[in-house]
């Protein structure tokens, strides 16, 4: 059954993707000559704001229902298969840099340094995600679940009076702790994504930024269309 949070975010995401397609159209038709650098900067700023808006909406919705973002119903199975902690993997962006633009030696050096830094941060996020997964199988959680199951079998279906049962409260507190942990690791991953995007845009010139944003947008849009066809 689809929850209200899932419905609301699905609608938001459809609108966000439609806007992304319009931005991509603009990124592809803007002249590449240096005389149009102001146009490039304007488009880059609009795209940056568009991505920030996504994360603002995502974090607000995830605070209400974090589990929906670890298997989002608004994405196709193909899109879900490529998710890394609820989104795109930051190191993927480096493969798109320079695909349509020549980089200077200084840019290559700076990009390599950023890549190493981002990879270290990805590993930190992955360790934290593993810690959260281990917590799901933690001995105390398993014991609480076993005791709760045993109580239900012994007493039959829970009645309204069971709502104040100490064991129920322990389970609730434990689950709440896990949800908080998952929300934290999601935000860690999102921050690495944003840091990657900002880091690359700071290194590249406006024209190169347009090329990078167009490549990222095109990949996301094509992945969505392929997923829907399947």
The model's pLDDT over 157-199, given as tens digits with 9 standing for 90+, comes to 444 445 566 656 666 776 788 889 999 999 999 999 999 999 9
Q: What is the reported pTM?
A: 0.84
Name residue, tokens 């981002």. Answer: 118
By the 8 A CB rule, do 78 and 7 touch? no
Instruction: Give the residues across from 87 on adjacent strands.
Output: 84
DSSP 84: B
Sign of the CA dihedral running 88, 180, 115, 41: positive
CA distance 90 to 115: 9
Instruction: Give the residues across from 182 on adjacent strands.
Output: none
* Every domain of the chain and the residues it spans: 4-228
The model's pLDDT over 4-55, given as tens digits with 9 standing for 90+, comes to 999 999 999 999 999 999 999 999 999 989 899 999 999 999 999 999 999 9
DSSP 156: -
């Amino acid at each position: 059954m689809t929850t209200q949070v899932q419905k609301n975010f699905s609608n938001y995401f459809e609108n966000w993707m439609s806007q992304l397609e319009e931005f991509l159209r603009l990124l592809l038709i803007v002249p590449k000559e240096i005389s149009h650098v102001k146009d490039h900067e304007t488009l880059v700023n609009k795209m940056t704001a568009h991505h920030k808006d996504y994360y603002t909406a995502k974090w607000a919705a995830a605070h209400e229902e974090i589990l929906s973002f670890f298997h989002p119903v608004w994405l196709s199975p193909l899109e879900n298969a490529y998710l890394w902690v609820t989104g795109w993997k930051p190191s993927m962006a480096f493969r798109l840099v320079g695909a349509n633009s020549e980089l200077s030696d200084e840019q290559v050096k700076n990009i390599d340094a950023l890549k190493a830094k981002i990879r270290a941060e990805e590993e930190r996020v992955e360790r934290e995600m593993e810690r959260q997964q281990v917590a799901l199988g933690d001995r105390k959680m398993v014991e609480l679940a076993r005791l709760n199951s045993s109580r239900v079998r012994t007493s039959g279906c829970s009645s309204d009076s069971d709502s104040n049962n100490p064991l129920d409260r322990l389970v609730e507190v434990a689950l709440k702790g896990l949800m908080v942990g998952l929300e934290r690791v999601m935000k860690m991953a999102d921050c690495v994504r944003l840091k990657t995007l900002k880091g690359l845009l700071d290194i590249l010139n406006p024209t190169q930024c347009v090329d990078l944003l167009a490549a990222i947008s095109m990949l996301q849009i094509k992945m969505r269309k392929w997923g829907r066809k399947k």
